[in-house]
Amino acid sequence: MKLKVITSNPGKVVEYREALASFSIDTEHIRFPYEEIQSSELTEVVRYGMRTLKGLGLKDFIIDDSGMFVDALKGFPGVYSSYVQKTLGNAGILKLMENVKERKANFQCCIGCNINGSDIIVLGRCDGVILKEEKGTEGFGYDPIFSIDGKRSLAELSLKEKNKISHRGNAVSLLVKELNKML
C-alpha cells in the first residue's frame, strides 16, 4: 500500500515513513498547497482539507494538522503553532513563559487519511511541559522546548523513541489500527 503524505514539512514525512514502514505502508511526499480554514479545532481543519483535496481529485493520501497547546497561555499557540513557530519561534514561546510556574502543555496531531474511497480521522495526543530552555538537536519545531518528563526534550530523543510517545506517533498508531480494520 502507498499513501501520499501531503505536507510542506519534510520532518513530518520522515516521521510518517519511519512509523508506517513496519506496517508495510509506503509513503510518497507530495507538496500540494491547498486552502486551510482558520478554526480553533484541528479536526475541523483536517476535515475541510480532506474535502478540498478530494474535490481536486486526489485519493489515497494523508494530511495532518498539529499543534502545541500551552495551559498557561490558554491553549496558545494551538492551531496557530506553525505560524507562531515561523514568527516567534521557540525563543518567543520561552519569553512568554518567563516566570510562569505552571508549565503544562500538550501536543495534538489530527491525521486525515483517504484510502480506497474511505476517510479516517484520528487524534493523537502527548502530554508534557514546556522546558525553561531549548535542549537537543533532533526533530523540528517545538521539540527542543517540549518534554514529557520535564527532563529530556523531544529533540533529545531518537526518531524511534519520539515516534513511540509523540502526538504524531500516537495518531499514527490509531491510524494503523483503523487501517487494519479496513484492509
Q: What is the largest CA-CA distance in the chain?
A: 51
Tell me how far apart the alpha carbons of residues 156 and 11 are, in angstroms, rounded to a whole number. 15
Q: Cα–Cα distances in Å, from 115 out to 92, 109, 112, 121, 166?
A: 39, 19, 10, 11, 24
34, 49 in Cβ contact below 8 A? Answer: yes
Q: Which residues are catalytic?
A: 65
130, 76 in Cβ contact below 8 A? Answer: no
